[in-house]
Amino acid sequence: MSEEGRAGRRITRRKFLSVAAAGAGISMLDSCASGLVHIRQPQVKGHGASKRGPIKLAVVPKAVGFSYWETVREGAQCATSKHKDVSMIWNGTNAETDIIGQVNLLTNYITKGIDGLVYAATDAKVLTQVTKLAHAHGVVVVNIDSGTDPQPKNVPLFATNNVAAARQVPKLLSEALRKRGKKGGTIAFIPFQPGTSTNDEREKGFKEALKQHPELKLVATQSSESNYVTGLQVTENILSAHPNLDGIFAANEPGVIGAAEAVRSAGKAGKIAIIGWDASPEELSAVKDGVVDALVVQNPFKMGYEGVDAAVKMIRTGAHVKSEATGATHVTRENLDTPRIQSIVNPSCKNPPLHVT
């Protein structure tokens, strides 16, 4: 991650919110006593009323340029094509750590008169204010992949149950080590972006389940910062500090790719067990090559599809839509080519993996 990117992560939440307010043309009051920031909401028509005629949606992922988010886009476009008079704008920043960039982008769409906003929050706390701003402008909001804290009751979230899915990782690591004739060993954890709901939930689930596996000893934790190069570097650092490392859990796509490359370069492919997350072409190749033992694979196509579909229903009819867990499955060398797994890792609008749980 660049120095500029690191500086962006250090910017206070107050500044983020001030940027959002400036872009929206509204004022914010800072309560010195409580430290809370309050929005003076503009007097506009409330959201929730049914609408006939064309609908404009903005779908904003955490970032563009990742295989995972590209699959989300395909699902969102598929859902858009199923509805009459619905158009979709797809846009995002270039880095999942660019919180201020996402705030600016979302604020811009809100103030330009869109009907619905479908987005994945880069920061659970900061983006809560953006959702409030959208509602103040009469814009329907749906979250995909990552929600806010708190998650408003009138904002459905379509995402993986990250805690439950991550609880399976210690078991997968233990099984992978047994295949190598080991009854456990030392392991490393590579999270990706502390402060995001997805990262924190995966860490929670992983560490909760780790207590049930005393044969696994966590000796290192370093973040990839959702960046392949950083993921590569931190894995190299971990391998240098722990040359006899037995296993790695990398919690998202860039971290997995970086970790796999570091293990390859160290000449330890197949010797160190790697459990990853997501299913980019690079990750699937690593599974085929035996570098990665298993992937916890989400259903990003379904997130994009259900997110757009829910937004349209809410705008058209004022319906209350409930949040939904979109499912996760394990991909290994043994099951990769099965029809069910292929429908998830290579989805299409003609055969969407919407039934998978």
> For 351, which DSSP code?
S
55 in a structural domain: yes
170 in a structural domain: yes
Are 129 and 181 in the same domain? no
Are 235 and 153 in the same domain? no
Q: What band does 355 get if pLDDT is binned at 50, 70 and 90?
A: low
Q: Which of 251, 280, 297 is the last residue of a domain?
A: 297
Are 15 and 79 in the same domain? yes
Place of tokens 């330890």: 268
pLDDT at 51: 79
Say if residue 170 is preceded by a cis peptide, omega within 30 of 0.
no
| pLDDT, tens only, 294-323 | 999 999 999 999 999 999 999 999 999 999
Place of tokens 């699959």: 71
Q: What percent helix, strand, coil does the chain show, rounded to 5?
A: 40, 15, 40
Q: What does the alpha-carbon distance between residue 262 and residue 260 come to, in Å, rounded to a whole number?
A: 5
Q: What does the buried/exposed string (b/e) look like for 147-158 if buried means 16 or more CB atoms within 10 Å of the residue's CB? A: bbeebeeebbbb
332 in a structural domain: no
Are 17 and 134 in the same domain? yes
Q: At what angle do helices 281-288 and 253-265 cross, to 10 degrees?
A: 40
Are 82 and 44 in the same domain? yes
Q: Which two tokens stand for residue 180?
A: 């190598």
Q: At what angle do helices 300-317 and 67-81 cross, to 10 degrees?
A: 40
Query: What one-letter code names the amino acid at 44?
Result: V
Q: What are the φ/ψ torsions at residue 250 (nearest 5 degrees)?
A: -105, 125
Q: How many domains does the chain have?
A: 2
343 in a structural domain: no
In the predicted structure, residue 32 carries a pLDDT above the cut 80:
no
pLDDT at 286: 98
In the predicted structure, residue 101 carries a pLDDT above the cut 60:
yes
Counting beta carbons within 10 angstroms of the beta carbon of residue 207, is it exposed (0 to 12), middle (13 to 18) or buried (19 or more)?
middle
28 touches 17 (CB < 8 A):
yes
pLDDT at 45: 41
Are 50 and 148 in the same domain? yes
Counting beta carbons within 10 angstroms of the beta carbon of residue 336, is it exposed (0 to 12), middle (13 to 18) or buried (19 or more)?
middle
Q: What does the alpha-carbon distance between residue 212 and residue 62 come to, in Å, rounded to a whole number?
A: 33
Are 148 and 256 in the same domain? no
> For 143, which DSSP code?
E
Q: What band does 165 get if pLDDT is binned at 50, 70 and 90?
A: very high
Query: Taking the model in full, what pTM does it have?
Result: 0.83
In the predicted structure, residue 34 carries a pLDDT above the cut 50:
no
351 in a structural domain: no
In the predicted structure, residue 1 carries a pLDDT above the cut 50:
no
Are 127 and 271 in the same domain? no
What is the residue range of 27's domain? 3-159+300-326
98: domain CATH number?
3.40.50.2300
Q: What are the φ/ψ torsions at residue 199 (nearest 5 degrees)?
A: -60, -50
| pLDDT, tens only, 181-216 | 999 999 999 999 998 899 999 999 999 999 999 999
3-state secondary structure of 79: helix
| pLDDT, tens only, 265-275 | 999 999 999 99
219 in a structural domain: yes
Give me the mean pLDDT over the 21-40 stretch.
35
Give me the mean pLDDT over the 242-252 stretch.
98
Are 11 and 146 in the same domain? yes
Q: What value does the mean pLDDT of the chain take?
A: 88
3-state secondary structure of 121: coil
Give me the mean pLDDT over the 211-225 stretch.
98
Three-state SS across 255-268?
Answer: HHHHHHHHHHHCCC
Are 149 and 194 in the same domain? no
Are 209 and 320 in the same domain? no
283 in a structural domain: yes
339 in a structural domain: no
